[in-house]
Structure 1
Amino acid sequence: MSDLFGGAPAATSPQAPPRDAPLADRLRPRSLAEVVGQDHLTGPEGTIGRMVAAGRLSSMILWGPPGTGKTTLARLLADAVAMRFAPISAVFSGVADLKAAFAAARDAALAGQRTLLFVDEIHRFNRAQQDGFLPYVEDGTVTLVGATTENPSFALNAALLSRAQVLILRRLDEAALAELLVRAEALAGAPLPLTEDARAALIASADGDGRFLLNQVETLQGISIAEPLDPAGLAALLHRRMPVYDKDREGHYNLISALHKALRGSDPQAALYYLARMLVAGEQPLYVLRRLVRFASEDVGLADPQALVQCLAAKDAYEFLGSPEGELAIVQACLYLATAPKSNAAYKAQKAAWRSAKETGSLMPPANILNAPTKLMKEIGYGKGYSYDHDTDEGFSGDNYWPEDMTPQTFYAPVDRGFEHKIRERLAYWDGLREQRAGA
């Protein structure tokens, strides 16, 4: 059994995994030089690089998203400085396990061997358990390397944080993930059956998680694929399709579609006809109201911000009066929507923004607009240089609020109708200020 909680010293040299091991294990780096995406830590000028060069490690917390190599780094660190590697998991361990690990580390120290105690998911230990590490870290019995996906400022004791450096692992970028693909193909001795676009889509789907990417690759390599997959074929293969919705009430959907399109076409007479068809046939009035509320946001939007208010007021009126008196409020909302100026700019903006959010994954906002309630967060630059818009003459700073690795996008483009005409002018004014300040 492996040295999980103590006992015989764990081997420091990474052992080759069996051929039937998961791909992520078979591709696990054998040296720090093979680690991808963390050059800011492992390079010659990085904190880990400098520690290894000096031959001495200090206790540290590895903070980063899943699949970025925290466990691998800990193993390689122990090997690089010839330390005994003793891993435990906060998910499966308790006080007795910690005591056993510390006792084994003390015995190893008497034999002249230092111990790197790796604690995975360290944030899952409660405050009292975290305090239990302190004396053994202070007296050098162990060098603690903790791994966490949670913000250490909130998840770990201040006393423990004061005795360990917090090292931030970055989500794997496109280049790092592409390198993992190349290694997986080299190990398999064959390229993945993907077009270039599908290859890019596969990388994007990993959202910076190397383990997830390799699991997807392993699935592809285990399937016989005759022709290279395009992005659509890749998505169909790797993701479950949504079940088909049961459309056995075709007339119901035909009428609501007709009502929606008559409203969009600004035809109040036809809209009233289809509304009447539905209510006379026994359709639930609250269902119709839900569709009108949706239409107010999707097809009227900020061209007339009162449209949504009118629909919600109609819902309140119907619930207060009931049928048939309350149905007049539904008619009023229907007529308001049909005669209102139309804009789907908000709807299109939502679609574009959601699509961009899925494509860009977990990019961090710029540090200057991040909240910094703790000392650690301030030290790493959170909130530094933030411009408070109200302090400017125009109430507008013109700062860049986009992630560093993302160019600014335009999702919302107001139309030149109704209230959105004024919004359009306002946005143009701000764009002009932004350009002036960028030029200055």
Structure 2
Amino acid sequence: MSDLFQSAGLDGDAPRPLADRLRPQSLSDVVGQDHIIGPNAPLGRMLASGRMASIILWGPPGVGKTTIARLLADHADLEFVQLSAVFSGVADLRKAFEAAKARRATGQGTLLFVDEIHRFNKAQQDGFLPFVEEGIVTLVGATTENPSFELNSALLSRAQVMVLNRIDGPSMTQLLERAEAHMDRALPLTDEGREALINYADGDGRYGLNLAEEIFALDPHQKLDAKAVAAVLQKRAPAYDKKADSHYNIISALHKSIRGSDPDAALYWFARMLSGGEDPLYIARRLIRMASEDIGLADPLALMIANEAMVTYRTLGSPEGELALAHAVVHMATAPKSNAVYTAFKSAMKVAAQTGSLAPPAHILNAPTKLMKDIGYGAGYKYDHDVEGSFSGQNYFPEGMNRQQFYAPKGAGREAQIAARLAEWAKKRDGD
């Protein structure tokens, strides 16, 4: 670590951030990631077998990606070389690969750690392949973005993806206890203040320790409650990128909460999107889609309310118009659900593609001219309004095509009445 400070022009004894001073010295010291580094976990088994394969560490900031990579190099007795895709280019990569080749000739392996690897373009990512395949470097890439979307499939096929978790409450508590042991004094916090500090960290261990360092600098004799912690610390904006993985995860969570009839969870995810800076009109459009897909005819009002909520937001804007969207979220989450029309439409589209050339039966063909009537267009058509019950029971499918049933109402909400009506008509049709 002193080498890093000297290369930056600092003395090895210069003050270091608390998070750096508490950086784990062994894999067993890493908190919150037992699912990948435990004895029976993927990395644990890999190291126990004496082999080290290329991996991609995917997770949010401050969960230990760099630390794990450095410790893996130590454990596997590999030279640790670190690059950042933000600051490095082709020349830096070439230099790293040439040095790794020379090192390999002397019997020394290289672990090349590439931070923010997703920022390299596709061609640069392809440049890793021959060096990884030949074993010149063991690649450990770190990314906060979904590798499925951001990394080449060729690179992914040569590296195992390890998903790191955000630091949860118990793990963050463990980090704070280590900080207190290192400082040889307790954080001046009440139980509520401590919980507030953990919430402010938002799953980022490095950020949590930085916040703790700020608290340690205050008067140790005055314990801070949650309100005082809020006054002292600056809460950062929640992680949310309108073009990244979190965007799709959270809109999916909103959609599934509405589908699952949980208004409280739906309101939470709706609020998360708004607080993250999402365009409310994007949410409004998605609500309209949900009303059609998941509620349908079980509650036709849902589609109307979703549309009106969007109109209201366009009229009022933020923040007043957001209440109308919240109204739609709650109505839809508490409405009876049916995807019967959605399913029926998909089935009808599939059959239509297979039978697209079949003509309607003659009795429902349009007959605007005498010639058309003479050759049988419209012959035998029964005008349903002139029949008792306004139901003739005639066949409306193409001749030579068996009758199909696409729409099968689920029986929830208004669809219960529709199901009964369809059953009655089916009996009449069979009787005819």
Query: Unmatched 5+ residue regions in structure 1?
Result: 5-9, 11-15, 242-303, 318-342, 354-389, 397-421, 424-440
State yes or no: 1:137 paired with 2:153.
no
Q: Structure 2 residue aligned with 1:230, among 225, 232, 248?
A: 225
Q: Give, in whole Å, the separation in 1 of the partners of 2:205 and 2:314.
A: 51
How far has the Cα of 1:239 moved from its partner?
A: 2.5
Identity in percent: 55
Partner of 2:195: 200
Partner of 1:68: 63
- Judge conservation of contact 1:118–1:145 (CA < 8 Å) in 2: yes
User: Are residues 225 and 100 of structure 1, via their aligned partners in 2, closer, same or farther at CA, if it must alter by over 3 Å?
Assistant: same
Partner of 1:111: 106
Partner of 2:153: 158
Question: Which amino acid in the other structure matches residue 150 of structure 2?
Answer: A
Superposed, 1:2-21 pairs within 5 Å as 18=13, 20-21=15-16
How far has the Cα of 1:308 moved from its partner?
A: 10
Question: Which amino acid in the other structure matches residue 158 of structure 1?
Answer: S
Normalised to the residue count of structure 2, the TM-score between the two structures is 0.54
Q: Give, in whole Å, the separation in 2 of the partners of 1:37 and 1:315.
A: 42
Cα displacement string for residues 47-93 of structure 1 (whole angstroms, at most 9, x for unaligned residues): 11011112210000000011110000000000011111111111110
How far has the Cα of 1:307 moved from its partner?
A: 9.9
Q: Structure 2 residue aligned with 1:57, among 45, 48, 52?
A: 52
Q: Give, in whole Å, the separation in 2 of the partners of 1:46 and 1:313.
A: 52
Partner of 2:176: 181
User: Are residues 316 and 62 of structure 1, via their aligned partners in 2, closer, same or farther at CA, if it must alter by over 3 Å?
Assistant: closer
Normalised to the residue count of structure 1, the TM-score between the two structures is 0.54
- Judge conservation of contact 1:17–1:25 (CA < 8 Å) in 2: no
Q: Give, in whole Å, the separation in 1 of the partners of 2:224 and 2:176.
A: 16
How far has the Cα of 1:198 moved from its partner?
A: 1.1
Partner of 1:31: 26
How far has the Cα of 1:142 moved from its partner?
A: 0.3
Q: Give, in whole Å, the separation in 2 of the partners of 1:314 and 1:151.
A: 35
- Structure 1 stretch 155-164 or stretch 202-211: which is displaced more? 202-211
User: Are residues 128 and 308 of structure 1, via their aligned partners in 2, closer, same or farther at CA, if it must alter by over 3 Å?
Assistant: closer
Cα displacement string for residues 70-120 of structure 1 (whole angstroms, at most 9, x for unaligned residues): 000000000011111111111110000000000000111011101000000
- Judge conservation of contact 2:110–2:138 (CA < 8 Å) in 1: yes
How far has the Cα of 1:315 moved from its partner?
A: 11
Question: Which amino acid in the other structure matches residue 45 of structure 1?
Answer: N
- Judge conservation of contact 1:68–1:172 (CA < 8 Å) in 2: yes
Cα displacement string for residues 145-173 of structure 1 (whole angstroms, at most 9, x for unaligned residues): 00000000111001100000001001111
Superposed, 1:381-400 pairs within 5 Å as 394=410
Partner of 2:91: 96
Superposed, 1:275-314 pairs within 5 Å as none
- Judge conservation of contact 1:3–1:86 (CA < 8 Å) in 2: no
- Judge conservation of contact 2:78–2:111 (CA < 8 Å) in 1: yes
Q: Give, in whole Å, the separation in 1 of the partners of 2:313 and 2:110.
A: 67
Cα displacement string for residues 366-397 of structure 1 (whole angstroms, at most 9, x for unaligned residues): xxxxxxxxxxxxxxxxxxxxxxxx9997378x
- Judge conservation of contact 2:312–2:324 (CA < 8 Å) in 1: no
State yes or no: 1:172 paired with 2:164.
no
Partner of 1:322: none
User: Are residues 393 and 173 of structure 1, via their aligned partners in 2, closer, same or farther at CA, if it must alter by over 3 Å?
Assistant: farther
Partner of 2:398: none
User: Are residues 314 and 189 of structure 1, via their aligned partners in 2, closer, same or farther at CA, if it must alter by over 3 Å?
Assistant: closer
Q: Give, in whole Å, the separation in 2 of the partners of 1:238 and 1:66.
A: 19
- Judge conservation of contact 1:17–1:26 (CA < 8 Å) in 2: no
Query: Unmatched 5+ residue regions in structure 2?
Result: 237-300, 316-322, 334-405, 415-432
User: Are residues 42 and 109 of structure 1, via their aligned partners in 2, closer, same or farther at CA, if it must alter by over 3 Å?
Assistant: same
- Judge conservation of contact 1:59–1:145 (CA < 8 Å) in 2: yes
Question: Which amino acid in the other structure matches residue 173 of structure 2?
Answer: A
Question: Which amino acid in the other structure matches residue 190 of structure 2?
Answer: T
State yes or no: 1:40 paired with 2:35.
yes
The structure number with the bigger radius of gyration is 2
User: Are residues 391 and 57 of structure 1, via their aligned partners in 2, closer, same or farther at CA, if it must alter by over 3 Å?
Assistant: farther
Q: Give, in whole Å, the separation in 2 of the partners of 1:221 and 1:186.
A: 12
Question: Which amino acid in the other structure matches residue 110 of structure 2?
Answer: T
Superposed, 1:251-270 pairs within 5 Å as none
Question: Which amino acid in the other structure matches residue 54 of structure 2?
Answer: S
Q: Give, in whole Å, the separation in 2 of the partners of 1:212 and 1:56.
A: 33
Q: Give, in whole Å, the separation in 1 of the partners of 2:145 and 2:313.
A: 43
Question: Which amino acid in the other structure matches residue 112 of structure 2?
Answer: L
Q: Give, in whole Å, the separation in 1 of the partners of 2:71 and 2:149.
A: 28
Q: Give, in whole Å, the separation in 1 of the partners of 2:308 and 2:90.
A: 61
- Judge conservation of contact 1:3–1:87 (CA < 8 Å) in 2: no
How far has the Cα of 1:347 moved from its partner?
A: 6.9
When the two chains are superposed, the root-mean-square deviation of aligned CA atoms in Å is 3.9
How far has the Cα of 1:200 moved from its partner?
A: 1.0
Q: Give, in whole Å, the separation in 2 of the partners of 1:34 and 1:170.
A: 16
State yes or no: 1:81 paired with 2:76.
yes
- Judge conservation of contact 1:19–1:26 (CA < 8 Å) in 2: no
Q: Give, in whole Å, the separation in 2 of the partners of 1:313 and 1:137.
A: 55
User: Are residues 237 and 111 of structure 1, via their aligned partners in 2, closer, same or farther at CA, if it must alter by over 3 Å?
Assistant: same
